[in-house]
Each structure stands twice: as C-alpha cells, then as structure tokens.
Structure 1
Amino acid sequence: MTDRTRRDVVKIGATGLVTGVAGCSGAIPEDVARRAVDGSAPSAEPPELGDFSDAKLDRARSVGEAARAAVAVIRGESGQGGTAWFLDDGRLVTNSHVVAGSDSFEAWPMDGEKFEPELVGTSDYRNDPYHDVAVLETDVSPANRLSLGESDSVEVGQPLVQVGHPFAIGNWVVSIGRYVEPGNGETLLTSVPTLSGNSGGPLLTLDGDVVGITTGAVPRDRLGSTRPEPVDLTVHEEFTDYEWTTHDDTSVVRRYVEEF
C-alpha cells in the first residue's frame, strides 16, 4: 500500500490511534474469509463511520493502553504469526489459523520477556470458517488480563477498539472503528482498521469489554454477490477499496475455552 493510499483510508491522529477504515489482506485465506458471511451485503452504511470525537479517541486510548498489557505477539515454528491475548483464567487466545502448522510457539508480552505457551486446542477453521479460535496455556503472569463480555450487547455504529500487531504499522497498535452488523455463524462485521498481524486480536468496547476476536476481512463490494462475476478488465497499480473486518463473537471464544 502506498503512502497516498494509506492517507486516503487511514488517519493516525495525535492520540496515536489508528482511526477510520483501512484495507486488510489479513492472514486468513480469502476463500475462508469470504465464507464467513452469508452473502448478504450490510443493509445500510453505519452512521458516522469515522470522524470520532476527541472524547471518544481519548477513551479508546485509555482502553487500548490497558488492553495492550494483556496482548502478546505470537509466532509458531512455521513462521506464521499474529496476536494473542490473556484471558482472566490464565489462558491465551488467538486464531486457529495463526497457530496452524506449528507445534511450538514463542510469544512476547509488552515487557519483552519471551515465553513459550503450549497449545491446548484449536477449532477446525478450514471446515468451519465461522469458528477460528485457538487456546494456549502458559505460567506467565501478564500485567493485565481481559474478560469476555457479551457480543449481542453491541449496537450498530458503536465505536469498538482493537489491539494487535499489523505488520505494516507496528506492534501493540490500537485501532478504532464501528460495529457494522452481524455476519453469519456467530461473526461480527466492523470497520476497525486491520492488516495482517491483527489476526487473533481482541475487539473491545469503550468500556473495555471484549466482544470479539479478529479473524480477517471481506471486501465490502463483494458481500452481496453469491455468484462470482468477472470485474472490468483493469491493471491495478494499487487497491484503495476498504473492507469490513470479521470477528468471531465471544460466544465462540467462550465455547472453545470451556471445551479445551
């Protein structure tokens, strides 16, 4: 993505938050991400997609600062990596596609002290794209832990915050967007800026409640098409169309944490 394109779709304010809507390639395979919704386009543009007030950005900064202490970088032996976060029961949560192909893992919390979590179990995201959760265990005591809230309490247009490690931006990046609408199969659609590396990150309300786990993204202009159609023949030098970010809701996370 060029600097011009990034300025078009992402605004980095004085607060240090990434705001607005950004394109997201995501780590999740495109066909899996596309099946994460039921083919129905969002019914309407959510109100006030961007343009957050200073008060909202300050609140997001505060929530993000606290959440960063519960978030870790995670990488598997396969070279795949993403975002993980500590639950209040002492476990780590990330996406199953982040840990796919690896048996051993390295992780780093905010203080930089590397640890090696052990994989407890994963969902089968390749056959069930609506569920993309992995659970790990560790003896490490982080500076903070996150609690699961209720995804069905979120309202259309509500500001939501994400913390993760988008490769093109950096580590422990806080981003803000809005809830768009439910996807399908216990998923949420938001406008929270996301890039590869954000996979597995927590999605939080401005009250600090976790309402989802980031799984990938789907192109907005393709959600309404159930039959693939060729686009006009164009040689693209850059992509500027942004995408909705997809998240498994907390009922999915809770289910696999309890199962494993």
Structure 2
Amino acid sequence: MARPSRRNVLTAGSTGLLVGLAGCASLGDGNSGRNATTTSESDPEEPSRAELVARIETLEETIAAKNERIEELEDRNETDSATSPEFSRDVFERAKTTARNARSAVVTVRGASSGGTGWVLDAEKGHVVTNAHVAINDESFTIGTFDGKTGTATRVGYHREMRPDLALVQTDLDGLSEFSIGDESTLRAGDPLLTIGHPGRYGDWVMSIGRYDSYRSVSDWILSTVPTSQGNSGGPLFTPDGDVVGVISGTTRSGETEDYSKSNELYAEFPEIRELTTGNPVTTLMDSVNEWLE
C-alpha cells in the first residue's frame, strides 16, 4: 500500500474535525440521537448553530490554506527531484533563467533538403551559425524565430568535408538577439553546459542541461553530457552565464566495448555504452567565420 502523503493525512484529519462539529450542530437542533435525549433544555454554555457554522467556515479556510501550503512544498520537492541530483537547485534555476532568455537568439534553419538549429552570432549583420551538414545541400533557407517571425537566409560559408561541422548563413530578419562568445579553454570537467534546439521528437526551442566532459583534440570535439537528439544540430553549447563555447554537431559513443564472448553470465540486456554529445569549439568557429568573411 502506498504511504499517504502529508496532504492526504491533513485532509483526512480535517474531515474528522468537520464531522465532529457537524455532530455538535445537530445536537443544538434537538435532532434525534443518544446524546440528544439526555437533556430537555439547552446548555447555556453551548454555542448556537450560527456560531458553530462560523467555526466550521473558519476551520475550512484554515485547512484550505494549509493544504495549499503543503501543495507548494510538494511541488517544490517535485521540482527539486526533476532537476536531477547532478545539479543543485541554485545552479539549475540560474541555468533555466539564462536558457529561457537565450531562446530569442536561437532559430530554426530549414532548407529544401534538410534542417536543424541555428543561433545568432551577429544580430546587426544577420549572421546565423549552424552545422555544415545542415547547410551543405542548399544555398537558401527559411529562418524562424522564437516569437514567430520568419525570414530567408543565404549560405555564406561552410566546410564541404564537414570537418569541422560548421556553416554560416545570413538572414534578412531584423530585431534579432545574439549570443556572447565565451572561451572553451576555461572549461573544467563537470562544469554545467546548456543547449537550446529543435530535437524533432521533443519539439522546438527545447532547453537541456548537462556537464562538460572533455576535449578530444584528434577530432576537435568538445564532449559533454548535454542531452541532444536529431534536430539539435547547429545549436549553441553555452555556459549558465550565456556565453557560447561550442556548436553542437552530433553524438558519439565514448569508451571501449567489452568482450562478452563465452561469458557465463545471463544478460537481460547488454550494458549501455555511454553516449556523449559532440560540438566544435567556439574558437574553431570564429576562425572559420573570419575566413569566410574575408
């Protein structure tokens, strides 16, 4: 049997109190009952029906206020558990505020062949960053903003070999918000990182949080545990202060697969290999942008 919550316990207790007072009220009315027959005239100290009704109403208001407070506390506990034990409430709330404010600088990028996420590097010039694999097959795109505006964009530059997986497009939309550029070299293992994107299975402008894992120099990848899915491609990887340190490109599986040949163990499911999100560092992006705009 499930353990009753504090809210249920209080509600049950209050019901008993109300029933008790209601019984006293019926005594005052002289209704039939064992106690009602023990006296022929009312006790001068016994409260009137109106007084009892007033007490009940006051008690109901008190109970309602307490139940409301309990609901607030339970909702707070649910929020705390939803933040994941990996993050303190303060970190999570600060990150959520930053991410919500940053959604206006994230856009949808849709071409005839493919689409993904983009983010505004320079609002005045209309420069939007995305992935090369999002922009490689098209020269023009439709851009959508968080507040519902749409415009067009043309491709400015991209890496044909998709290493690094970066591209720059230019939109005709005005009134855009932009990100500030950070420094990925300041990251330390475990630092919180965020992204906002359009993971197709989950919706648009979805915010997610994880941690910096490491930098893989061979592939020029920032690895993190930030949750992503197909459609996040091209999104910003940024700190809780709102500084972009990388550009999301995909996921990779990290670590070697163990050999279970001739094992005597019986597996209900195979151990999962840890999947990490990949992204190119922002310094690599800026080098590419400077090259494209020369």
Higher relative contact order (CA 8 A, sep 6+): 1
Counterpart code for 2:284: V
Q: How does 1:19-30 map to 2 (within 5 A)?
A: none
Inter-partner Cα distance in structure 1 for 2:166 and 2:175: 21
User: For 1:217, which of 224, 239, 251 is the aligned residue?
Assistant: 251
| Shift, 1:138, TM fit | 1.5
Runs of 4+ in 1 over 6 A off after TM superposition: 229-233, 236-239
Given candidates 270, 282, 285, the residue that maps to 1:250 is 282
User: What is the distance in 1 between the residues matched to 2:139 and 2:169?
Assistant: 11
Structure index of larger Rg: 2
TM-superposed CA distance for 1:221, in Å, is: 3.3
Q: Distance in 2 between matches of 1:70 and 1:125?
A: 27
What secondary structure does 1:188 align onto?
Answer: strand
Superposition deviation, residue 180 in structure 1? 0.5
Partner of 2:93: 58
Residue in 2 aligned with 1:34?
A: none
Q: Name the residue aligned to 2:237.
A: 203
Q: Residue 215 of structure 2 aligns with which residue?
A: 182
**Structure 1 gap segments, 5+ residues each:** 1-12, 21-49
1:153-164 correspondence to structure 2 within 5 Å: 153-164=186-197
Counterpart CA distance in 1 for 2:207 and 2:226 is: 10
Return the TM-score normalized by structure 1.
Answer: 0.72
Residues 54-133 of structure 1: matches in 2 within 5 Å? 54-78=89-113, 80-88=114-122, 90-126=126-162, 128=163, 131-133=164-166
Q: Give deviations 1:53-100, integer Å, cap 9, x for gaps.
A: 11111111111012100000111101x111001013530000000112
- Tell me how far apart the structure 2 counterparts of residues 176 and 156 of structure 1 sit (CA, whole Å): 14
Q: Separation in 1 of the partners of 2:271 and 2:255?
A: 13
One-letter identity of the residue aligned with 1:150? D
Separation of aligned partners in 2, 1:56 and 1:62: 10
RMSD over aligned Cα atoms: 2.8
* Percent sequence identity over aligned pairs: 37
Cα pair 1:66 1:144 within 8 Å, conserved: no
| Alignment deviations for residues 158-204 of structure 1 (CA, whole Å, 9 cap, x no partner) | 00111111111111011000000111243211000010011100011
Alpha-carbon distance, 1:154 to partner: 0.9
Aligned length: 208
Question: Residue by residue, what CA displacement relative to the aligned partner does 1:18-53 show, whole Å, maximum 9, x if unpaired?
Answer: x67xxxxxxxxxxxxxxxxxxxxxxxxxxxxx6211
Q: Which sits farther off after the overlay, 103-112 or 153-162?
A: 103-112
Give the C-alpha shift of residue 239 in structure 1: 9.4
User: Could you give the per-residue CA deviations for residues 116-138 of structure 1, whole angstroms, max 9, x where no partner exists?
Assistant: 11100101334x3xx11100111
2:189, 2:211 within 8 Å by CA — same for their partners in 1?
A: yes
* Contact 2:152 2:173 (C-alpha < 8 Å) held by counterparts: no
For 2:226 and 2:191, the matched residues in 1 are separated by 11
- The answer to which structure has the higher helix fraction is 2
Query: Residue type matched to 2:146 in 1?
Result: M
The one-letter code sitting in structure 2 at the alignment partner of 1:149 is G
